[in-house]
Structure 1
């Protein structure tokens, strides 16, 4: 059999397929197209990065996929099934999102136990106590954190709770919106390593938004570079490591990224 046929047979199914996505803000003459004809495909079990400067539209793509932004057109398919702007409750069991600021994303008056157990109750999971305890162990906190509150935790510990919450419903796809940028440098690597380990253990698909090229070099297989709401280049991470982009904006982004080392 030809090698091209082998490659086709070995190729993973597409977990997330976005085609010609446009996202709008405002109404009437103030309507603004923040995302312009974005198309990406992410294989199941893959890790795909969206990079670019602040305001480039990368986080807006995630919010459209998650359902937090509804004024969009184009097509979005998850595991081969097109999704609409109005999401069913069951959608939460397929896709979950981890936000940039772990303190803002956790309810300050809810204990960690309530934060983790509430989605399980809403979706009628059983063995809630065991699931909560195991989730805390899986993110490196342990069961002693179960009845604490967000203000009693460090930034890194809060983000571990946010990751645990995203995992509670056993999703296939995780949307990661700058998951380490609000954290101290000393704990950023710990959270990235945790996310890498979880992805391998659970065979998850990641879509990671970041402005930090060192993060995508560590986390991702493929990246799309965004500028002014558009994708200007898609490349594998090895091409980025070798500093061999095709688009001038990507070259400028690589040169401007402080601390990025292609060989890292």
Structure 2
């Protein structure tokens, strides 16, 4: 199998000098093409910071990050964002309040050089379960689940190979979380996507992913398959603690 994402000895820092925070410490992981890989752990463990380093949103890092065999440098170009897109936790904050759905999607398509924009906007809305009636609505006219569907459509617009999902359902009502997760699963199958999903919820990761890295205090303490997680076959005490806390939801 080919490798979609390869990270070796990644360190990520925030702040300067005396206030420097070592947020991710020597993290290494590999995600195969077409796989769905989870990053789990408590808040502040460094999960989202890894995604930010990949996308260039956390510029203070060292180590190696390779996407589809290409090693990343300090900046990200347009080709990178044609390959990798990110869906953020809060769909309201990630959408411009004064831009309609049509503007959000059309501008993204235009930025990436597409020409048949009208047809593509219609198809993107169809792909995420929204009809043409939503095209000229604004974020405040949408529910949380609908806003996240628009955010997913925007991420799909450049036709990426890899989606980075940063707690994509944690800001949503419980009633719509499953709908969004099922949508993402369907899109992965339909488009042949590779997922890297951050979540503090082991049940979500068990539902969505094939493999997961468990993070604590900025370090990856264990990488295991979801089958091993379900069976309780873990090596690290922290993973066992997480599993006990979520035992009634992961089984």
- The TM-score with structure 1 as length reference comes to 0.94
- 1:80 alignment counterpart: 69
Structure 1 contact 94–172 (Cα < 8 Å) conserved: yes
Q: Gaps spanning 5+ residues in structure 2: where?
A: none
Aligned pair 1:179/2:168, yes or no? yes
Find the aligned partners of 1:260 and 1:35 in 2 and give their Cα distance. 28
Aligned pair 1:64/2:53, yes or no? yes
Q: State the 4+ residue runs in structure 1 displaced beyond 6 angstroms.
A: none
Structure 2 contact 88–165 (Cα < 8 Å) conserved: yes
Q: What are the Cα deviations for residues 126-185 of structure 1, in whole angstroms up to 9, with x where unaligned? A: 100000000000100111100000000000000000000000000010000000000011
Aligned pair 1:154/2:152, yes or no? no
- 2:5 alignment counterpart: 16
Find the aligned partners of 2:117 and 2:140 in 1 and give their Cα distance. 24
Q: How far has the Cα of 1:259 moved from its partner?
A: 4.8
Q: What are the Cα deviations for residues 96-136 of structure 1, in whole angstroms up to 9, with x where unaligned? A: 00000000000000000010110111122110000000000
Q: How far has the Cα of 1:258 moved from its partner?
A: 7.0
Q: Secondary structure at the match of 1:76?
A: strand
Say which of 7, 12, 15 aligns to 1:26. 15
Say which of 128, 131, 134 aligns to 2:117. 128
Aligned pair 1:257/2:243, yes or no? no
Structure 2 contact 206–250 (Cα < 8 Å) conserved: no
Find the aligned partners of 1:166 and 1:147 in 2 and give their Cα distance. 18
Q: How far has the Cα of 1:261 moved from its partner?
A: 3.1
Find the aligned partners of 1:186 and 1:258 in 2 and give their Cα distance. 21
Find the aligned partners of 2:25 and 2:69 in 1 and give their Cα distance. 23
Structure 2 contact 6–31 (Cα < 8 Å) conserved: yes
- 2:220 alignment counterpart: 231
- The TM-score with structure 2 as length reference comes to 0.98
Structure 1 contact 37–230 (Cα < 8 Å) conserved: yes
Q: Gaps spanning 5+ residues in structure 1: where?
A: 1-11
Count of aligned positions: 251
Aligned pair 1:144/2:124, yes or no? no
Task: Please give the residue correspondences for 1:176-255 in structure 2 after superposition, counting only pairs within 5 Å.
Answer: 176-255=165-244
- Change in CA separation of 1:37 and 1:234 when aligned onto 2, cut-off 3 Å: same
RMSD: 0.9
